[in-house]
Amino acid sequence: MKRIVLATGNKAKLNEFRQMLTDYDVVCPRDLGIAFDVDETGETFYENALIKARALNELVGEPTIADDSGLCVDALDGGPGVRSARYSGGGDDENNAKLLAELKDKPNRAAHFTSCIVYYDGERIISAEGYTHGVIADALDGDNGFGYDPLFISDDLHKTFGRASEDEKNAVSHRARALALLKRKLADEVGGAE
């Protein structure tokens, strides 16, 4: 089974990748005893994912995958976008509180999550994007997931990702859709997980 090093320190994200990329041995820098942190200076999800994948590949010398994803809210001109994780300068609770405050008087609560995943092996760059659409709830709803999940009402599930099970979310999430596309591209261009 081929190993891929995922550029994350987020346990929830690592679990999502492991659940969806079952043909691969997905490990993170922490599993290898490596400290990894890189500045995400890109202006797009693709640029940030590529920055992380390249930097990690240079460190470990094996194929890497990096994801950059975020919440894009119509009423905020696509924000917080690539700055979703750093939106408030705090953690998930502070980000969610800031989002609710920003949308307080805005009737349009349409939003989508975007995920761009980049595979890099020192030679090839293979990327895939996925999207999932919904609206922002008026208040937090549910304890599952992470990030903006308790505020994002999925068009597919008709409930927040915070109320969805892992299997439900993984069936329709932006990351799941990007990963499904990436798996097909890897099979075609790299030969899959054999």
Residue of 25, 39, 67, 68 with catalytic role: 68
**68 an active-site residue?**
yes
Dist CA 33 CA 127 (whole Å): 27
Identify the CA nearest to 82 among candidates 95, 97, 69, 91: 69
Identify the CA nearest to 178 among candidates 120, 126, 101: 126
Residue type for position 40? E
Dist CA 145 CA 163 (whole Å): 8
Q: What are the catalytic residues?
A: 68
